[in-house]
Amino acid sequence: MEDLKRAQALQAELTAWRRYLHRHPETGMALPETSAFVLERLREMGFEPAELPHGGITALAGGKRPGKTVLLRADMDALPMKEESGLPFASCREGIAHTCGHDMHTAALLGAAKLLKEEEDALPGTVKFMFQPGEETLQGAKSMVADGILEQPHVDAAVMMHMAPLLPTGMVFYGSGTVAASSDPFRITVRGKGGHGARPHLSVDPINAAAHIHLSLQELISRETDAADPAVLTIGTFHAGTADNVIPSEAVMTGTLRTYNKKVRDFLLPRMREMVELTAKAFRAEGEFLVTSSVLPLKADPAVVNPAGAAFQRELGGKAVESHEPMCGSEDFAEVTDRVPSLCFLLGGGSREEGFSHGIHHPKVRFQEDSLSYGAAAYVIAAKALLSP
C-alpha cells in the first residue's frame, strides 16, 4: 500500500493538473498547449524530456542500475465534440472536449513520473514515459513507434491505462488475451452516371448500387464469419445527391470494421473490397473501397499481466480485479502490443451508485477525480513489478 499512499499524497496536485488539461483540450497530432504543459511539469520534476519528430513526448527515469526497460503510456488528445458536463472547469474550447478521459490518463502518468523520479536511484532498470498524441485518430502510437519510442533504450514491456466510467472509483481491472477490437475505418465511393429522376434508364444510379453494397456487406458478417469469432461492420454515413428529382453521379458511405482476431480481419477486408467492386459493377457503376486508417486488436501478454496483476492484488487488495471481458472499442496502443509484451488495465472512474451516469464519449461524462491517485499508483506498481529481476 506504500505506493498508493504516496500517490494519494499527490491528490491535490493530480487534480489541479487534470483540471488544467480538461479545460484546455486539443485534438489530433498537434497538441502544442498540452505538450508544453507536460514538458514543463516533467522538467520541474527533474526530467530531461524530449519531443519526438512527429509528435509526442518521452522521458526516462532510472537507468542507474542495469535491468529491463518498461514503458508507461498515456494518451493526451481530446475529441472533436461539445462538452455538456456542467463542470466548473469544463472545456473552454467550443467543439473540443476530453470526453474519453485522456486528461485523466495524462495527469495520472505525470503523478507516476513524479513518484518514480523520487526513487530512481533504486530502480533496477529504466522506466520510459510515452505521452502520446492522436489516439482518437489512430495515428499517434503508430507515429511514435516509427519515431523510435520502443528503442534507445529497447523496451522490454509496456503498460497502458484507460479510464472506465460507470465502474467503481479506483478499481483496477486487468486480464490476459484480447483486450480491445481492431478498427478499420473505411470509405466507399460509388460512381455512376447522373441524370433526371424521370429517366432513370438513361442514368447509372449510384444510390441504388450503394444500397445493395450496404446490404451485401452485412452478409459477410452473417454468412462468412464464424459466430465464435465475432466481427462488427457498421456503416455510419451515407451521402448522395442534392435534389429530389435528380439522380446523382456519386454516392459515398463511411463506416468501420471491428474484430478480435487478426485472421478474421485479414479475411474480411479483401472480401469487403471485392463485394464493393463487384456489386457496383453488377449495377453498371464503379465502386471504390478505401481503408482510411487502421489498428490491430489490442493484446495483453500473460508474461507481463501475471507479475503485474500479482503486484496489483498485493498492493491494492480488493481494488484489483482480474477480468477477461474484451471491449468492442479500439485502442491504437495495439501498435505497441503487437511488438512488445504488454499490459492494458482499466481504471474505474465512478459508478452509478456514486452518482456517475454516463460512459466515455458522452458529452455529459464525468470522472471521479479520486481515481487519479489509484491510476498513478497502478502505473508505479506495474513498473516496479516488471522491472523486478
- 327 pLDDT more than 90: no
- 313 pLDDT more than 80: yes
In terms of domains, do 215 and 146 share one?
no
Q: Identity (one letter) of the amino acid at 278?
A: L
In terms of domains, do 140 and 20 share one?
yes
In terms of domains, do 45 and 163 share one?
yes
Cβ proximity of 289 and 216 under 8 Å: no
Grouping H, G, I as helix, E, B as strand and the rest as coil, residue 292 is coil
Of 35, 11, 34, give the one whose Cα is nearest residue 24: 34
In terms of domains, do 108 and 194 share one?
no
In terms of domains, do 135 and 190 share one?
no
Per-residue pLDDT of 340-378, as tens digits, reads 999 999 999 999 999 999 999 999 999 999 999 999 999
Give the residue carrying C-alpha cell 516488471: 386
Q: How confident is the model at residue 157 (pLDDT cuts 50, 70, 90)?
A: very high
- Examine the fold and report which residue of 291, 314, 347 is the final residue of a domain before the chain moves on: 291
DSSP 26-75: --SS--HHHHHHHHHHHHHTT---EE-TTS-EEEEEE-SS--EEEEEEEE
Distances (CA, A) of 189 to 61, 89, 229, 270, 358: 49, 42, 29, 16, 35
Question: How many structural domains does the chain have?
Answer: 2
Long-range contacts of 237-241 (CB under 8 A, 24+ apart): 238/210, 238/214, 240/206, 240/207, 240/210, 241/207
CATH of the domain at 269: 3.30.70.360
Instruction: Determine the pLDDT at residue 212.
Output: 98
Q: Write down the number of H helices and E strands in the chain.
A: 10, 17
In terms of domains, do 163 and 233 share one?
no
Of 228, 208, 211, 230, give the one whose Cα is nearest residue 220: 230
In terms of domains, do 33 and 172 share one?
yes
Cβ proximity of 247 and 202 under 8 Å: no
Per-residue pLDDT of 189-244, as tens digits, reads 999 999 999 999 999 999 999 999 999 999 999 999 999 999 999 999 999 999 99
Instruction: Determine the pLDDT at residue 204.
Output: 98
Instruction: Determine the pLDDT at residue 181.
Output: 93
In terms of domains, do 211 and 345 share one?
no
- Examine the fold and report which residue of 274, 291, 308 is the final residue of a domain before the chain moves on: 291
- 328 pLDDT more than 80: no
In terms of domains, do 170 and 197 share one?
no
Q: Average pLDDT, stretch 241-270? A: 96
Cβ proximity of 313 and 382 under 8 Å: no
Work out the mean pLDDT of the chain and round it to a whole number. 96
- Examine the fold and report which residue of 291, 315, 336 is the final residue of a domain before the chain moves on: 291
Cβ count near 234 (within 10 Å): 11
Q: Say how far apart CA 92 and CA 332 lie, in whole Å.
A: 27
In terms of domains, do 117 and 11 share one?
yes
- The cell for 80 is 472533436
Q: How confident is the model at residue 338 (pLDDT cuts 50, 70, 90)?
A: very high
Instruction: Determine the pLDDT at residue 389.
Output: 82
Per-residue pLDDT of 107-149, as tens digits, reads 999 999 999 999 999 999 999 999 999 999 999 999 999 999 9
Compute the chain's Rg from CA coordinates: 23
Q: Say how far apart CA 261 and CA 253 lie, in whole Å.
A: 25
- 323 pLDDT more than 90: no
In terms of domains, do 248 and 145 share one?
no
Domain coverage including residue 68: 2-180+298-387
Instruction: Determine the pLDDT at residue 325.
Output: 80
Q: Say how far apart CA 51 and CA 39 lie, in whole Å.
A: 9
Q: Average pLDDT, stretch 265-270? A: 97
Distances (CA, A) of 200 to 195, 207, 251, 282: 7, 12, 16, 16
CA dihedral sign of residues 231, 362, 171, 312: positive
Element (H or E) spanning 372, and its range?
A: helix 371-387
- The cell for 154 is 529497447
Q: How confident is the model at residue 324 (pLDDT cuts 50, 70, 90)?
A: confident
Cβ count near 67 (within 10 Å): 17
Q: Identity (one letter) of the amino acid at 99?
A: T
Cβ proximity of 385 and 320 under 8 Å: no
In terms of domains, do 126 and 216 share one?
no
CATH of the domain at 40: 3.40.630.10
